[in-house]
Amino acid sequence: MEKKLKENEIESSTGTVYQIKSVKMKYMKEKFLNNYMYLKTLGVMKVLNNYSDGEVIVKNFLTAVLDSEEIADKAIEELDSKAMDQIIKLTKTINEIEDESEIKNEITQVNQ
């Protein structure tokens, strides 16, 4: 019988279901948006391979969206690139993150 996932859930290749949550302020203050933008723009593999702190970026991102460092540590061992792409997309929706171009347009309008 196939699992019915909720809108904010993803399933790893090992069958573990992870619930993506709205990011709390404590994580926002720890540069969550920067970590999200690195992963969204460059992708997980490039971040891990091209940045000395790539693993920290991924771990901090997962800790924020899973709201648990312990769960993030487990997820890092299980998630593949497809699951990470799903998490990034869900994170954008759940947290109502605008594209960088939309943000720049809003800032320009405010400064006029």
Q: What is the mean pLDDT of the chain?
A: 89
| Rounded mean pLDDT, 7-23 | 94
Q: For residue 3, what pLDDT is reported? A: 73
Q: For residue 44, what pLDDT is reported? A: 95
Q: Which residue in the block uniquely carries the two structure tokens 């996932």?
A: 5
Instruction: Record the tokens describing residue 80, joined without a space.
Output: 């593949």
Please write the tens of the pLDDT for every residue from 62-107.
999 999 999 999 999 999 999 999 999 999 999 998 876 665 565 5
Count CB neighbours of 62 within 10 A.
Answer: 26
Q: Which pTM value belongs to this model?
A: 0.86
In one-letter notation, the amino acid at residue 7 is: E
Per-residue CA distances from 89 to 51, 53, 83 (Å): 22, 22, 10
Q: Where are the domains of the chain?
A: 25-105
Instruction: Record the tokens describing residue 14, joined without a space.
Output: 């090992």
